Homo-oligomer: A and B are copies of this chain.
Amino acid sequence: MSNSIGRLFVVTTWGESHGKCLGAVIDGCPANLHLTPEDIERELARDIPDIELGTKRHEPNKFEILSGWQKNRTLGTPICLIIHNTDYKSIDYKQFQNLIRPGHADYTYVEKYGHSNLIKGGGRASGRECIARLAAGAVAKKVLSCFDISIESKVVEMAGIPISSKEDYQKAKEKALLEAKDGESTGGIVELRVKNLSTGAGSPIFGKLDAVLASGLMSIGGVKGVEVGAGFSAAKMKGSVCNDEFYLDQGKIRCRTNNAGGLLSGISTGEDLVIALAVKPTPAIPRQQKTVNIKEMKETTIECIGRFDINFTPRVAPIAEAMAAIILVDELICSGYIHPSKISTLTKI
């Protein structure tokens, strides 16, 4: 259970980090969507890690569309996407045998599933799992593009350095690399922006669009916080500042500011959706840390020597876009904006 997301546009992911392949099944994609292999390739390519910041595990992310698709058009039937794992070295993980890595899922998974041996490489609780989200997100983005809805993301903080320019990013990267020399990893903040979403999308109460997005984004490994619009700084604002006043812009109701982040009571205002995510530092670090050998139930230490990102904030960005795309397509179908079975009869929102 829980490897699926969505109500009418349902994405199910499967596959372990170090198995043969991972994949996603997308159920409820309207028929007749123009979809090319390049649409998916382009998104998967965004997961190729930064040569300096990223893991040394590099995969070409070769994929196949196994169903639901013919001659660059979707059929309305479930789309199964498969991504092959090619750069898998199980040997990396021998060193951790029976050791639970601090900050990792090793301990909680063994408690939940009772595996006698820890799954090598984290199994599903690995960043690699997200490749299937990227693939499904590519399809969702293609649906959104029919309505001129676009999703952008950027790293706005890394290794403690705020980023608003290329120079800032370079500075932050150098900081991250410097820490890495010391065997340290670092984190950061990603900002997500959805443009051109019409007014009225989202559901009330438990289905508020911010609630659903918060859930989807918090489900990305390493994300420890989500905020919408002004977020935590709203807690420090006065009402007259926080409220976004309304005005008329060529007959359309608009907001002068966007502290709400495009959502009032969980329903879209027509302004950009703006959401930020906090990403924690990579837990696997080549420094000695205290831990427990769960077989012998003895205290010991661990050093994670392997191919791990020294900062995976930049890799979270496209995955956050994918999650937002998946959730928005589902919401727009459920809200009656996107026709559930055929793209041809879609009316622009």
Contact = CB atoms under 8 A, between A and B. Distances in A.
Interface in A59-109: 66-68, 70, 75-80, 82, 100, 102-105, 107-109
A128 interface: no
Contacts of A79: 14
A216 interface: yes
Interface in A2-41: 2-5, 7-10, 12-16, 19-23, 25, 27-28, 31-32
A224 B214 contact: no
Given A119-B75, A205-B129, A221 B265 contact: yes
B78 A283 contact: no
Interface in A276-321: 278-283, 285, 287, 289-292, 294, 297-299, 313
B1 A27 contact: yes
Give 9 nearest A-B pairs by CB, closest first.
Answer: A2-B207, A105-B265, A225-B227, A185-B239, A215-B215, A108-B267, A2-B203, A14-B78, A103-B243
27 contacts: A3-B77, A3-B205, A4-B12, A8-B334, A12-B27, A12-B78, A14-B78, A20-B66, A23-B66, A23-B67, A31-B115, A102-B243, A109-B265, A113-B341, A114-B341, A186-B238, A187-B236, A189-B232, A208-B219, A210-B218, A212-B215, A215-B215, A224-B229, A234-B281, A240-B285, A247-B292, A336-B336
